[in-house]
Structure 1
Amino acid sequence: MECRSTCTIHPVLGARTTRQLPQSCNVVGVCLKMAKSGLGRGLDEIYSSTEGPDLSSFVSEEEMPDSPRSAVLWMIFGSVCFGTMNALVKWTSDHADVWMIIMVRSAVIAFAVAAFAATRGISLRVNDRKTMLLRCSVGLLAMILYFTALGRIPIGQAVTLQYTGPLFVALLSGRILAERVSSGVAMLVITAFVGIVLIISPELGSIEPDALLALGSGFFAALAYMYVRELRKTDSPATVVFWFAAFSVCGSIIQSAPDISSLDSTTIASLVGVGIGAGGGQIGITMAYHKANAAWVSAFSYLTVIVATFYGFAIFGETLGPADWVGGLLIIGSGVALVFLPPSKNDTLESS
């Protein structure tokens, strides 16, 4: 009897669900092999750790036939939403500080997730409080650094550096450090970090401090992702997202409260738009993952960099230097290659 792969890769937490298969199919083996077919699968998971809520719990798990065209369209939609969110953050930074942006954005997401959870009867109770606190702390720090960088450097540069998260995961993950890293992975990581150097120090003589903020956001986003992976063992995706948003509101409301009364309607609308853009972006990548192979879809997530760079040029008149373009291509190229990097022999044996 023919056995088709029916694993759904969770786009934010990496959780996997299996549809009902004939008994002759080895469901566990299929899922594990899919899970280990590339290091870059966590790209959207990392990006979502600071950018938007995981809404996959609210997407129907009914069987969906593979549709690459639909997957690309959903990923384009998600990239446009995330790119628009980045542009709104940059525009709003001239009218409100980073604390206000974080507070309103997080409040919008917390309200949306709480409403969805209430309608679906999903519990938001925290089971692993220590790990949740660590995830929220590093996630908030990543968001502070990223939103601050967006207000100071070109959008394309900030987004590219924030996309270094998968590289930091490759360096920090205990599982990877405990094993021998293949020469292919090592070369790709080195290539990507050459690109980072070109962006943060284009003349190789001085470092752009504001670019380091975006790079730092990628580092802390990687830490947040690693804690999210731990939390998926004990807490639901909705719980993780809700409490991160609630924590971010609590962590920013004291600093932002004095300025709330001075906001005009346009600024308020753009602040709310930041939250809507984050949610729309996550819906896009969630649906894309439900429509096609996870590794193939992950490669298209770099469309956000292109969309953000276009916004920077069209709206803010930003231009990138040669070092930025070369560095960005090295980072993106390495990231895409990591997506399709085959698993090691040890991983393959473990999954069989």
Structure 2
Amino acid sequence: MAPPHQRPVLALAIRLLAMALIAGMSALVKLASEAGVHLAEIIFWRQALTLPLLVGALAATRHLGQLRTERIPIHGRRAMLGLIGMFLNLGSVTLLPLAEATTLSFVASLFAVMLSTVLLRERVGAIRWLAVALGFAGVIIITSPGHSTLPALGLATGIGAAFMNALIAIQVRDLGRTERPVTIVFWFSLFSTVLLAAILPFVITHHDTRTWLLLAAIGLSGLAGQLALTAALRLGPVSSVIVMDYTSLFWATLFGWLVWSHLPPASTWAGAPIIIAAGLVIVWRENRLARTKPIGPVAS
């Protein structure tokens, strides 16, 4: 597969669109939860709608062969981790205001540094460790132990979601050595849909037209967001494109204000910039290291 022509400005624009779509999906998930839809059913429709759209697009372009894989067990493990991550990520959205849930998701980059030392045996220097410490100081400011008005379960779910995001990123990084992005998305959707289908009879309820439209919109916006994320990474360098992820806080704050009339408290305004600054330091340092590393074979 020939590498695509790099178009960094377009990549940044697509990544910005992806962040708006994902923030919009989170708002829709919160609305569906408030309408009484069980989280497991929300995730089922989020995943199930991906399959026919993805397979249909590949069949229309005669690219169904891209779904072949020789790493079924690894995809299965990724699906289990991904499902746990989705429950935590979307669970934090239902338990917390959108801005706070989004801010806690930025902690994933801090956990990624910590996990890379254990799972990938990477050496982490003083700069990145200082960034990790700075980021967790921002978390402490937002959570305000003993004084926060945010629910403890929601805060724990949000931090757990960030940890799972970091763990899944390492898993996907390994899969990405041999698999196309569309292959990873397809097998994750297939495995998770099958698992969730077994739970669905116990949680599904009757829905009105508005709720069905919400569920359909969740599936469509989620898939569009995933495809936009992938497209941005193919058109521009990771080190610059991923910085746009922090714009999701703007969209989350905007949707939270428009739909729920919620604006983040002072602790969030104080802690969020610290977490974002720590993440930017890590991205900058990773970029510097990538430029100085010699090109060689990738170790498993």
The equivalent residue for 1:162 is 105
Alignment partner for residue 132 of structure 2, among 169, 189, 193? 189
Distance 2:178 2:47 in 1: 23
Equivalent residue runs for 1:128-147 within 5 Å: 128-147=71-90
Partner residue of 2:157? 213
1:18-70 Cα shifts (integer Å, max 9, x gaps): 65xxxxxxxxxxxxxxxxxxxxxxxxxxxxxxxxxxxxxxxxx3x35x352x3
TM-score (norm 2): 0.86
The count of corresponding residues between Structure 1 and Structure 2 is: 292
Report the equivalent of 2:58. Answer: 117
Opposite residue 226 of structure 1, the aligned amino acid is: I
Cα distance in 1 for partners of 2:8, 2:68 equals 36
Cα distance 1:312–1:112, how it changes in 2: closer, same or farther (>3 A)? same
Aligned: 1:267 with 2:208: no
SS, match of residue 315 in structure 1: helix
Q: Where do 1:56-135 residues align within 5 Å?
A: 61=4, 63-64=5-6, 66-68=7-9, 70-95=10-35, 96-118=37-59, 119-135=62-78
For structure 2, list consecutive stretches of 5 or more residues without a partner in the other structure: none
Partners of 1:231 and 1:289 lie apart in 2 by: 16
Is the 2:239–2:287 Cα contact (8 Å) retained in structure 1? no
- The equivalent residue for 1:320 is 264
- Superposition RMSD in Å: 2.7
Which structure has greater helix proportion?
2
Contact kept, 8 Å, 1:202 with 1:323, in 2: the verdict is no
Q: Which moved more, 1:201-210 or 1:264-273?
A: 201-210
| 1:270 shift after superposition | 0.8
- Partners of 1:330 and 1:258 in 2: CA distance: 42
1:239-254 alignment to 2 at 5 Å? 239-254=183-198
Aligned to 2:294, what secondary structure does the other structure show?
helix
Partner SS for 1:250 = helix
| Paired residues for 1:293-304 under 5 Å | 293-304=237-248
